[in-house]
């Protein structure tokens, strides 16, 4: 489940984007000013951030600079009415991953978000390879030593989430937030069960754990 944050002060656009992405199966969080947006970025994990340039309290460019300073690796799409080349160059040089000019079609924005998410997971490739495991992103197929590993949907999502955050412990709360989002309350042992299954299927040494810190995959 892909979780995105939309920071946009125009309520009609914010509502339109939230509804559109939720209909496509995304988990969507929103903010209508720069200060609230920056707070949510610092507090939560997101897979994609859609950031308006002109915002009250703090501009999108100021937030983008803070994202870079905090070393947050989440891809950022800058959404703005500015269409001059120098503005695009400034945004990309600061660290934006993509740039969409208003007015825009939702289909194009959603396609760009999907593309950025795939690239953030696979580093520009359609596959992830480590140890003797290969993950094919488009087909969601996992193989180990040439044999297909059958993973349930949540097992696959958690595996990708841990790979994206490789070499860093991820807390149980962040895992809940990223994988289940606004879904109904789940049993507190569900993550432990899924981790057990991942260790049993792709490999027993795949996922490391630490009491109080959470889980990680070392690549």
> What percent of the chain has a predicted confidence (pLDDT) above 90?
26
Q: Which two tokens stand for residue 184?
A: 């109904």
Q: Domains in the chain: how many in total?
A: 2
Element (H, E) at 134: strand 133-136
Give residue 173's pLDDT: 84
- Based on the domain organization, do 201 and 135 belong to the same domain? yes
The low-confidence residues of the chain, meaning pLDDT below 50, are: 124
- Based on the domain organization, do 117 and 143 belong to the same domain? no
Contact 117, 109 (CB under 8 A): no
- Based on the domain organization, do 118 and 133 belong to the same domain? no
Give residue 195's pLDDT: 92
pTM: 0.58
Q: Taking CA 210 as the corner, what is the angle to CA 204 and CA 214, rounded to the nearest 5 degrees?
A: 95
Give residue 217's pLDDT: 87
**Of 87, 122, 157, at which residue does a domain stop?**
122
Mutual angle of helices 172-179 and 190-200, in 10-degree steps: 90
- Based on the domain organization, do 41 and 90 belong to the same domain? yes
DSSP state, 215?
Answer: E
- Based on the domain organization, do 98 and 133 belong to the same domain? no
**Domain of residue 105, residue span:** 3-122
Give residue 96's pLDDT: 84
């Amino acid at each position: 489940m892909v979780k995105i944050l939309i920071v946009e002060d125009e309520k009609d656009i914010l509502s339109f984007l939230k509804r559109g992405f939720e209909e496509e199966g995304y988990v969507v969080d929103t903010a209508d000013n720069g200060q609230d947006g920056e707070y949510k970025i610092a507090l939560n994990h997101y897979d994609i951030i859609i950031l308006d340039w002109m915002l009250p309290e703090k501009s999108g460019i100021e937030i983008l600079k803070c994202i870079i300073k905090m070393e947050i690796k989440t891809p950022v799409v800058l959404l703005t009415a500015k269409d001059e080349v120098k503005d695009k160059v400034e945004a990309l040089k600061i660290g934006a991953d993509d740039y969409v000019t208003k007015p825009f079609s939702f289909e194009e924005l959603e396609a760009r978000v999907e593309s950025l998410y795939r690239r953030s997971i696979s580093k520009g490739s359609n596959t992830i390879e480590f140890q003797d495991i290969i993950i094919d992103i488009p087909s969601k197929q996992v193989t180990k030593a040439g044999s297909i590993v059958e993973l349930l949907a949540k097992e696959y999502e958690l595996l990708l989430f841990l790979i994206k955050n490789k070499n860093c412990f991820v807390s149980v709360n962040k895992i809940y937030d990223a994988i289940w989002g606004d879904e109904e309350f789940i049993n507190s042992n569900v993550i432990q069960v899924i981790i057990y299954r991942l260790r049993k299927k792709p490999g027993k040494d795949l996922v490391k754990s630490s009491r109080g810190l959470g889980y990680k995959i070392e690549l």
